[in-house]
């Protein structure tokens, strides 16, 4: 069902945009987990509102931040219209996986897109992804490339010809090819984020989808950015040792579920160990380079 690196070309975005009726919406629900994001949520939602093909609804899931985040979300919703943005306030903090699952459960559109509250989309992201889905309706999940850039960076326009690669199981053994903020998937997929995983829970979900035989794809262009953190801020993704442990647990779970063979497990584990060693060496060299003379 999945053919690794089988490529096709999406309709040219400009042509499709001209063909879309005025005021049309993408059949997409955008789920944004929100935790202490009062300072970044405006930029995130502005990038959704700026889409050349806007999603039909946006769900801001407030994960019991305990600060002024909930007020900021209601302010943003009022500015854009509560008929377009819904604020879902959770009673207790249970992490981004639970927040995304709640949004997924309450979404009303056939497709779900994810955006983190501190990241931003380029304006043609959904237009190009929906064009790819229209060209190949069997695709169950489609992502695209992302880059780390300073907040406020304007992405260059996409190239005229947009390539789409089908991603098979071999890629998932080596790396996570699907940045969460790039993903659009079918709402009716029989999977959810594993709320017991605090790291690599997205990688686990994408692996379950691909290894179960669903057709998954990736656009060969940068259509969103991770906003670069400032003032030495760190996040869950910066703890490489914890990520390594999470990916080890991920592989073991996939084996128990019958989605990964023992040979594939050993291969993926070897790649994971090599990546950990490489990161350790790189971090050591960086520390030496910044150490006082």
Superfamily of domain 7-228: Spore Coat Polysaccharide Biosynthesis Protein SpsA; Chain A (3.90.550.10)
| Alpha-helical runs (H) found in the chain | 13-19, 41-49, 69-80, 96-106, 125-135, 169-174, 201-211, 240-256, 262-290
Q: Are 38 and 68 in contact (CB under 8 A)?
A: yes
Per-residue pLDDT tens for 79-127? 999 999 999 999 999 999 999 999 999 999 999 999 999 999 999 999 9
Per-residue pLDDT tens for 1-49? 444 545 555 555 454 444 455 568 999 999 999 999 999 999 999 999 9
Query: What is each CA distance from 224 to 15, 116, 124, 194, in whole angstroms?
Result: 21, 11, 9, 25
Q: Are 193 and 205 in contact (CB under 8 A)?
A: yes
| Adjacent-strand bridge partners of 143 | 218
Confidence category of residue 273, pLDDT binned at 50, 70, 90: confident
Give the separation between CA 144 and CA 121, rounded to whole angstroms.
11
The torsion angles phi and psi of 121, rounded to 5 degrees, stand at: -95, 150
pLDDT of residue 244: 73
The structure's pTM equals: 0.88
The token pair that represents 195 in the structure block: 């709320």
Decide if pLDDT at 53 tops 70.
Answer: yes
The count of other CB atoms within 10 Å of the CB of residue 219 is 22
Residue where the block lists tokens 């497990």: 265
Per-residue pLDDT tens for 112-168? 999 999 999 999 999 999 999 999 999 999 999 999 999 989 999 999 899 999 999
Boundaries of every domain in the chain: 7-228, 240-290
132-136 LR contacts (CB < 8 Å, sep 24+): 132/10, 132/162, 132/164, 132/217, 132/219, 133/184, 134/11, 134/16, 135/8, 135/10, 135/11, 135/164, 136/8, 136/164, 136/215, 136/217
Q: Are 73 and 34 in contact (CB under 8 A)?
A: yes
Decide if pLDDT at 242 tops 90.
Answer: no
């Amino acid at each position: 069902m999945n053919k690794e690196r089988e490529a096709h070309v999406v309709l040219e975005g400009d042509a499709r945009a001209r063909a879309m009726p005025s005021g049309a919406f993408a059949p997409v629900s955008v789920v944004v987990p929100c935790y202490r994001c009062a300072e970044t949520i405006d930029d995130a939602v502005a990038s959704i509102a700026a889409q050349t093909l806007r999603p039909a609804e946006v769900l801001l899931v407030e994960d019991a931040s305990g600060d002024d985040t909930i007020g900021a979300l209601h302010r943003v919703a009022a500015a854009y219209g509560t008929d377009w943005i819904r604020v879902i306030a959770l009673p207790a903090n249970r992490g981004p996986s639970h927040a995304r699952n709640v949004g997924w459960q309450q979404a009303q559109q056939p497709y779900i897109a994810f955006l983190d509250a501190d990241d931003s989309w380029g304006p043609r992201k959904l237009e190009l992804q929906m064009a790819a889905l229209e060209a190949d309706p069997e695709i169950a999940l489609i992502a695209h490339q992302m880059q780390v850039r300073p907040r406020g960076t304007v992405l260059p326009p996409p190239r005229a010809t947009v390539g789409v690669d089908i991603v098979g199981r071999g890629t998932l053994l080596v790396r996570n090819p699907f940045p969460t903020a790039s993903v659009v998937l079918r709402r009716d997929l029989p999977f959810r984020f594993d709320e017991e995983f605090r790291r690599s829970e997205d990688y686990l979900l994408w692996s379950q989808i691909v290894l179960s035989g669903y057709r998954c794809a990736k656009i060969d262009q940068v259509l969103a950015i991770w906003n670069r953190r400032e003032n030495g801020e760190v996040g869950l993704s910066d703890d490489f040792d914890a990520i390594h442990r999470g990916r080890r647990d991920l592989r073991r779970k996939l084996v128990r579920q019958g989605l990964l063979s023992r040979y594939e497990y050993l291969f993926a584990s070897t790649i994971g160990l090599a990546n950990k060693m490489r990161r350790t060496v790189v971090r050591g060299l960086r520390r030496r380079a910044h150490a006082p003379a």
